[in-house]
Amino acid sequence: MQVEQWRKAIGEMVRDHMRSPELEYYFSVKMNKQRAQLMITQLGLYIRHRRDCWSLVSANCPVMAVKQAILRHEFGEVIKDQYSEFGHLHLIIRQAEKLGLTAREVVDTNPLLSTTATLYAWAWLTHAKSWVEGLSALTVTEWTNDDRLLNDIGGGHSTRMGRRWMEDLGLAWRDMPNFVAHSQADEEHSDMFLPFLSEYATGEKEELALAAVKESLALFGLYREGVARAMEKIPLN
């Protein structure tokens, strides 16, 4: 498939994912400070784990151009970009501080069992499967923040959850730097690996790549449903 065909195929899968019962349930959960604390600390674990997964894809990949693109991607995530001088984990920490959490509490948080299971699965997928499958599985998770693709069905994750936090917690958009950054940065990230899929995910690898996209979105559904169920166990009042 050409780049635009990949964009359409993956985009339709992401749109279906964002309308799934798991995601509708996740976005329906009302927020208070304690529920938001749980959500943001689990998201911090997820973001840190992405760094391991991208490294695994790079290690499996013999194509220097792909390795260079991953390094460009990870420089912004780990070192600095226009959104943070200290990497994107710092955005999580800054947002968590608005909820009364310290940096140490964010870093030392314990994963939910559902978080552990899905992070293990993503690690296995990116280590044991081909780099084309790993690349497909990782890049699609960033598409769930792409407002260009999802605006007509409520927006991407960061935009929708940002609205929820503003409505339920009374926070301003500027108080949520992680949501601000990923509502914008992941539009670029959604685009950056499509040319490699067009070039290398050909023949039987095309179906493998699409299967990896589907599997990764299913894992995302499990991860977010687990967070939603844990939040609902925390009393609203």
Return d(Cα 157, Cα 150) in angstroms, integer: 9
Sketch out the chain's domains with CATH numbers: 3-231 (1.20.910.10)
Digitized pLDDT (tens) for each residue of the chain, 237 residues in all:
999 999 999 999 999 999 999 999 999 999 999 999 999 999 999 999 999 999 999 999 999 999 999 999 988 888 776 666 667 888 999 999 999 999 999 999 999 999 999 999 999 999 999 999 999 999 999 999 999 999 999 999 999 999 999 999 999 989 888 888 866 654 566 688 999 999 999 999 999 999 999 999 999 999 999 999 999 999 997
Return d(Cα 156, Cα 161) in angstroms, integer: 8
Rg (CA), the chain: 17
Tokens at residue 154, please? 């409520």
pLDDT at 79: 79
Return d(Cα 9, Cα 150) in angstroms, integer: 14
Tokens at residue 179, please? 């949501």
How far, in Å, are 102, 142, 185 from residue 92 at the CA level? 11, 16, 15
Q: What is the DSSP string of 45-60?
A: HHHHHHHHHHHHHHHH
Contact in structure between 95 and 179 (CB atoms under 8 Å): yes
pLDDT at 237: 78
Contacts of residue 115, defined as CB under 8 A and 6 or more positions apart, other chains included, come to 42, 45, 46, 223, 226, 227
Return d(Cα 126, Cα 141) in angstroms, integer: 13
Contact in structure between 105 and 41 (CB atoms under 8 Å): yes
pLDDT at 127: 97
How far, in Å, are 49, 98, 163 from residue 59 at the CA level? 16, 37, 38
pLDDT at 83: 65
